Amino acid sequence: MKLNKITFFTMFLLIFFTLYLPNIYEQNTPNLHLEVECPEKLIENKDIPIHIYAFTETEYIEYIIINLEVDGLSIDKLPMSRSFFNFEREFQDTVFLRFNKSEINKKSKVYIYFTLRDKYGNISKTYCEY
């Protein structure tokens, strides 16, 4: 009889820990969405429009950073912070970038990195490659 109780209790614990316990530790992070529309090619000495759409489920966007990298070297960093742009939960606008002829050529590998951070430090990243 005592062995039956121990076996039943062991089976109960095994079922409990395999079915129910993993759901207890499931992390619910807020949804961050960062979408950019980059042009097909870079043109020297002309304004390049890049449309940015950013959204967070938390109270507000803390900052958006645009990093420009040419041939593995960071040439510019454009931070947009909440204190200056008064970000809320959503940001939708077009940013214009311009590359000088001395910064890029046809063989250059150019990356434009975008980083979105919300109030609680959650981060979303994306990039455009040329």
The pLDDT of residue 23 is 57
pTM above 0.85, yes or no: no
| Banded model confidence at residue 125, pLDDT cuts 50, 70, 90 | very high
Q: Rounded CA gap, 105 and 81, in Å?
A: 31
| pLDDT tens for each residue of 3-56 | 677 787 887 877 777 776 555 555 567 788 999 999 888 888 889 999 999 999
Q: Rounded CA gap, 7 and 128, in Å?
A: 59
Q: Three-class SS of residue 24?
A: helix
DSSP labels, 94-117: EEEE---TTT--TT--EEEEEEEE
DSSP 44: T
The topology (CATH level 3) of 32-129 is Immunoglobulin-like (2.60.40)
Q: Rounded CA gap, 130 and 123, in Å?
A: 24
CB 64 within 8 A of CB 36: no
